[in-house]
Amino acid sequence: MASRILIIGQGLAGTALAWRLWERGVPFLIVDRDEPVTCSKVAAGLITPITGMRLTVSWRYAMFYREALRFYRQRGKQLRQRFFFPRGYVRLLKSEQEVTKWQKRRHDADMQGFLHPREPKLSADVFRDPQNGFQQRHAAWLDTTAFLEASRRFFDSLDSWRQADASPSEVLDDANGIDWRGERFSHVIWANGWNAAQHPLLSWVPFQSALGTILTVKADLHGDKRIVNRGCWLLPRNDGTCRAGSTYEWTFTDPNTPSPEQVAQLEATLGTLLHTPADIITAQSAVRPIIKGRQALMGTHPTHPRVAFLNGLGSKGSLRAPWLARHLIEHLLDGAMLDEAFDLQENDI
């Protein structure tokens, strides 16, 4: 059996890594600070194929979605709790420019598998100007908070989870392995989000992380469970609340406190989407780990082969973490070649 692997961080990336090791019977210890507010815990867990201002299919979406669908369903059966919810997704077009752009995009070959044949038919009593838009298939949302908490309990039952702040200075590597607080491991995988930018061995990774703010609101959508987006997205949840977001702040001072300006911006945008009132319950902020010019990075350090890294998933963590985690574990345990699009050692800076 392979030696134990140390994972730093129990966000979406670290959790997926731990499950991939568990699937293979490889022992691990996942260490997390267990902070109440983190990017993964705040995340809405949206998984949507056609995104962005350019109205394009998300990069490698079909590959990531197939893996995510299988992975989260397996976890749900095992833990006897549902986390993954396929949902209709409606994109409303907010300007004549977007309408014109969509009329061209909608005929692209890569779009066809994701376009729903029926018109959205949103209620005009609930949504403002609901007529210009389209409905997508193969969208979903992951209840990230419930998934991370249930996974933590499971790992804890295996004595494979520990609350601690594992600083880089106390995670030591040598020719024979990794040492952390007197315990030995074959590898360490740093999967601790934007905090990894403070690691001396990883300071050259071009992090360009962004603060995001998300609202939890109460709104009467007349029973419509679909995700709707125009200017901001609105996600109805199973507890009767909705999540709405999100913002991108490239410069910030406090990573966990929503600014009044960002909350006001979201509230105003939500007002252009909804006729029905939306009462704010909470506002939360956290930092998305983004790596400049990359969809994500993973692999081993160029001069410290026992030090591995999985990071930079940004707003796509729910979608991409299952595939990326399996890929990295196969690299570490089987010597599989990394896809160069994600390879840490192929990063040009």
User: Can you give the three-state secondary structure of 208-242, one letter per residue?
Assistant: CCEEEEEEEEEECCCCCCCEEEECEEEEECCCCCE
62 found inside a domain: no
Say yes or no: 119 and 246 in one domain. Answer: yes
What CATH number is given to the structural domain containing 226? 3.30.9.10
Give tens-digit pLDDT for 283-317: 999 999 999 999 999 999 999 999 999 999 999 99
Residue 142 burial (CB count, 10 A): 23
Domain that holds residue 129: 76-141+210-288
What was the pLDDT predicted at 215? 97
Same domain, 187 and 217: no
Express each pLDDT in 126-176 by its tens digit: 999 998 899 999 999 999 999 999 999 999 999 999 999 999 999 999 989
Q: What's the pLDDT score for residue 287?
A: 95
Lowest-confidence pick of 26-30, 52-56, 212-216: 52-56
Residue 11 to residue 15: CA distance in whole angstroms: 6
Q: Which of 241, 261, 288 lies at the terminal end of a domain, its last residue? A: 288
Could you tell me if residue 225 is inside a domain? yes
- Does the structure show a pLDDT above 80 at 209? yes
Question: Is 158 strand, coil or helix?
Answer: coil
Whether 231 and 298 map to the same domain: the answer is: no
pLDDT value of residue 188: 98
Q: Do 159 and 181 share a domain, yes or no?
A: yes
pLDDT-derived band at 26, boundaries 50, 70, 90: very high
Alpha carbons 81 and 35: distance in angstroms, whole number: 23
Mean predicted confidence (pLDDT) in 209-237: 96
| 122 and 218 both lie in a single domain | yes
Confirm if 219 and 278 have CB atoms less than 8 A apart. yes
Concatenate the DSSP letters of all residues of 12-72 into one string. HHHHHHHHHHHHTT--EEEEE---SS-HHHH---EE-SEETTTTEEPTTHHHHHHHHHHHH
pLDDT, tens digit, 9 for 90 and up, residues 41-66: 999 999 999 998 899 999 999 999 99
Per-residue DSSP letter, 4: P
How far, CA to CA in Å, does 135 sit from each of 13, 112, 226, 237, 327? 29, 12, 9, 19, 32
Q: Which of 101, 126, 113 is nearest to 221 (CA)?
A: 126
For residues 216 and 134, state if they share a domain. Answer: yes
Residue 281 has pLDDT above 90, yes or no: yes
Cα–Cα nearest to 275, from 173, 130, 125:
125
In a domain, 70, yes or no: no
The answer to whether position 108 is within a domain reads: yes
- Picking from 122-131, 249-258, 277-286, which range would have the lowest pLDDT averaged per residue? 249-258
pLDDT for the residue numbered 253: 87
Chain Cα centroid distance, residue 169: 28
60 domain residue, yes or no? no
What does the pLDDT read at residue 2? 52
What amino acid is encoded at 18 in this protein? A
**199 and 90: one domain?**
no
Q: Which of 257, 288, 319 is the last residue of a domain?
A: 288
- Say if residue 214 is in the same domain as residue 284: yes
Neighbouring CB atoms inside 10 A of 60's CB total 14
Kindly state whether residue 52 falls inside one of the protein's structural domains: no
Residue 349 is predicted with a pLDDT of: 44
Q: Is residue 218 domain-shared with residue 276, that is, in the same domain? A: yes
Residues 36 and 92 occupy one common structural domain:
no
Percent of the chain with pLDDT over 70: 99
Q: Mean pLDDT for the chain? A: 95
Which three-class secondary structure state does DSSP give residue 342?
coil
- Amino acid code (one letter) for 91: R
Residue 268 has pLDDT above 80, yes or no: yes
CB 105 within 8 A of CB 98: no
Model-level pTM? 0.96
What is the CATH number for 186? 3.50.50.60
Question: Residues 6 or more apart from 265 whose CB is under 8 A from it?
Answer: 247
pLDDT, tens digit, 9 for 90 and up, residues 231-250: 999 999 999 999 999 999 99
Domain tally for the chain? 2
279 in the same domain as 248? yes
Q: Are 343 and 291 in contact (CB under 8 A)?
A: no
Same domain, 278 and 308: no
Tell me, yes or no, whether 341 lies in a domain: yes
Query: Is residue 1 over pLDDT 60?
Result: no
Look at residue 71 and tell me if it is in a domain. no
Return the closest-CA partner of residue 212 out of 46, 33, 81, 88. 46
